[in-house]
Amino acid sequence: MLVVTKFGGSSLSCATQFEKVKNIVLSDPKRKIVVVSALGKRNSSDTKITDLLYILHAHLKYSVPYQDIWEMIESRFLGVRDELGIDYPIDEDLNKLHNELNKNISQDYLVSRGEYLTAKLMSNYLGYSFCDAKDLLKYNYDGLLDEDETEKNVKYAFSLHGSIVVPGFYGSYPNGSVRLLSRGGSDVTGSILAKCLNASLYENWTDVSGILAADPRIVENPKAIKEITYAELRELSYMGASVLHEETVFPVQSLNIPINLKNTNDPLNPGTIIKNESNDTSDLITGIAGRKDFVSFDISKDHMSGEVGFLRKALSIFEKYNVSIEHVPSGIDSFSVVVPLDSVEKCQYELVTELKRELGADVTMDTNIALVAVVGRNMAKRSGVCGTIFQNLGKENINVRLLAQGPSELNIIIGVAREDYEKTIKTLYKGLIA
Ligand code: ASP
């Protein structure tokens, strides 16, 4: 049994957090693969090492003096090393990097040093071997992971060392140069390693005790979700809940390896388990999430329902403008096409003109739409859920402007005016989850 354990930046912000990580890792001998992000914020006004490295890169590129930034970076790593009382010569790694700084240094390489140096400290502190992610995660020049090569490298490294610390957030191209993943990518590194080693569990440690059932900026003290399926997580993340990097689930999902989201500051809290299927039927609704900025193009024409191909013609105009469609709620002689506002910001007026001209229809645009998703696997084939939703919203005088439910009955999407967004989430949380 093998557990891949990934720690985010807030779990690695200072020596005290390193100590918590060590206690967690060493308390379970199955935790043999540790993935780390770069040192994170120590408090809300602090700056993450990754952000400092991006700033450093910009200074170098535009030949702006950078010594102050460099010293901030250097002192963070030296500070952790000294406070931990370990004798790892991190100053040598830092001097090497300092000598490499120049106007043309690769951004991917420079930014990846945050994870690299953090992993060097952590491996020494844990007594685990350091394995450079650039020797493990191999990417083709098109940016796709070379899965076979990566699996071979990871298996070999694990068989050689037994317990390893791997920096997250990067791999390398065939020529060995560093390829950085997108922000938050250490989550993906952990997932890839878990897949390569067919781990029994992928643990992802942050500073919250799992996924919350609603946005804590809107709902006071929302419940944490005990169990969620990959499909539910996708719905909630897509609708704005920020949980894991969106590519995290794919590698582990293929082997049905569960992900456990846990809190480094509260390790006994069970957190949230994410897996393919869940038998937990204790909650009807798993969570509520939403996004504020949508536009609805409302299209109507007399006798539209008898015109074969009308919908296709309309949708192909959106396709021409490269706009991805979110929902298409419909009536008999009218329908709406709901899309994210930012996707039509530059082309909304041309789109309306073309829709009117090509379809001979009335087209109006409503830019004041927020969408709220009520997500729950246990809603399927259960009567009364919509009734409860409407009853709660009605009592609060919230007007539902559109409604969509997919065939899987995994979620119900409610469109409301943007000014009703927060109130809708609060009301639904209170009526369905609290
Ligand atoms: N340190 C990187 C970031 O801030 C990657 C990560 O934390 O996963 O995005």
- Same domain? For 333 and 237 the reply is no
Do 335 and 213 have their domain in common? no
Task: State whether 306 and 258 are in the same domain.
Answer: no
Spatial contact of 93 and 120, defined as CB atoms under 8 Å apart: yes
Mean pLDDT of the 67-83 span: 97
Q: What is the mean pLDDT of residues 270-283?
A: 92
Atom of ligand 1 nearest to the CA of 182: 9
Residue 240 has pLDDT above 80, yes or no: no
Does the residue 281 lie in any domain? no
Nearest protein Cα to ligand 1, atom 5: 184
DSSP string spanning 381-403? T-TTHHHHHHHHHHHTTPPP-EE
At 384 the pLDDT is 87
Q: Match 């967690």 to its residue by tokens.
A: 24
Least confident among 47-56, 76-85, 405-414: 405-414
Best CA proximity match to 5, nearest among 307, 15, 29: 29
Give the pLDDT of residue 355: 96
Measured CA to CA, the distance from residue 429 to residue 414 in angstroms comes to 14
Give me the sign of the Cα torsion angle 14, 16, 20, 23: positive
Nearest CA, atom 8, ligand 1: 184
Distance 36 CA to ligand 1 centre (A): 9
Same domain, 269 and 293: no
Q: What is the pLDDT of residue 396?
A: 96
* Boundary (domain end) residue, out of 275, 305, 326: 275
The answer to whether the CB of 9 is under 6 A from ligand 1 is yes
Domain membership of residue 254 (yes or no) is: yes
Ligand 1 centroid to 420 CA: how many Å?
Answer: 34
> Are residues 253 and 119 both part of a single domain?
yes
Burial, 329: exposed, middle or buried (Cβ in 10 Å; 0-12, 13-18, 19+)? middle
Q: Under a CB-based contact definition with an 8 Å cutoff, are residues 276 and 352 in contact?
A: no
What local confidence, expressed as pLDDT, does residue 246 receive? 85
Is ligand 1 within 6 A of the CB of residue 183? yes
What CATH number has the domain bearing residue 252? 3.40.1160.10
Query: Per the structure block, which two tokens stand in for 38?
Result: 């770069």
Residue 282 lies in a domain: no
First to last CA, the chain: 37
Please report which confidence band the pLDDT of residue 49 belongs to, taking 50, 70 and 90 as the band edges.
very high
Q: How far apart are CA 380 and CA 367, in angstroms?
A: 31
User: What is the percent of the chain where pLDDT is above 90?
Assistant: 88
Q: Is 190 in the pocket of ligand 1 (CB under 6 A)?
A: no
Is the pLDDT assigned to residue 218 strictly greater than 80?
A: yes
Tell me which of 6, 169, 245 to substitute to probe ligand 1's pocket, judged by most ligand atoms within 8 Å of the beta carbon: 169
Same domain, 249 and 165: yes
Q: What confidence category does residue 280 fall into, taking pLDDT thresholds of 50, 70 and 90?
A: confident
Number of domains in the chain: 2
- DSSP-assigned beta bridge partners for residue 364: 298
Domain with 75 in it? 3-275
Beta bridge partners of 212: 224
Which atom of ligand 1 is closest in space to residue 9's alpha carbon?
7
Read off the tokens for 385: 């859920």
Shared domain for 114 and 239, answered yes or no, is: yes
Which among 216, 245, 275 is the end of a domain? 275
Residues 246 and 291 both lie in one domain? no
Nearest Cα to Cα of residue 194 among 222, 170, 166? 166
Residue 375's nearest CA partner among 264, 249, 260, 239 is: 239
Write down the pLDDT at residue 250: 93
Atom of ligand 1 nearest to the CA of 181: 5
115 Cα nearest atom in ligand 1? 1
What are the residues facing 227 on neighbouring strands?
Answer: 273
Q: What is the Cα–Cα distance from 190 to 199, expressed in whole angstroms?
A: 11
pLDDT at residue 426 greater than cutoff 90: yes
Here the CATH number for the domain that contains residue 421 is 3.30.2130.10
Cα 342 to middle of ligand 1, angstroms: 25
The domain boundary, picked from 275, 309, 326, lies at: 275
Name the residue of 37, 51, 206, 242 whose CB sits within 8 Å of the most ligand 1 atoms, as the mutation to test its pocket.
37
Same domain, 271 and 291: no
Longest dimension (CA), the chain: 80
Any atom of ligand 1 within 6 Å of the Cβ of 38? yes
Q: What is the pLDDT of residues 35-44, one digit of tens each?
A: 999 999 999 9
pLDDT at position 407 over 90: no
Cβ 290 under 6 angstroms from ligand 1:
no
Q: Is residue 108 part of a domain?
A: yes
pLDDT at position 237 over 90: no
The total number of residues written for the chain in this structure: 434
Q: Please report whether residue 280 resides in a domain.
A: no
Share of residues in the chain with pLDDT > 70 (%): 100
Residue 218, token pair as written in the block: 């809107």
Nearest alpha carbon to residue 185 among 139, 122, 225: 139
pLDDT at 265: 97
pLDDT tens sequence across 80-129? 999 999 999 999 999 999 999 999 999 999 999 999 999 999 999 999 99
108 and 231 housed in the same domain: yes
Q: What is the mean pLDDT of the chain?
A: 95
Across the range 155-181, mean pLDDT stands at 97
Got the DSSP string for 214-257? S-TTTSSSPPBPSEEEHHHHHHHHHTT---S-TTSHHHHHHTT-
Residues 149 and 271 both lie in one domain? yes
Instruction: Verify that 378 and 263 share a domain, yes or no.
Output: no
Q: Write out pLDDT tens, residues 299-323.
A: 999 998 888 999 999 999 999 999 9
210 lines ligand 1 (CB under 6 A): no
Q: What is the mean pLDDT of the segment spanning 267-291? A: 93
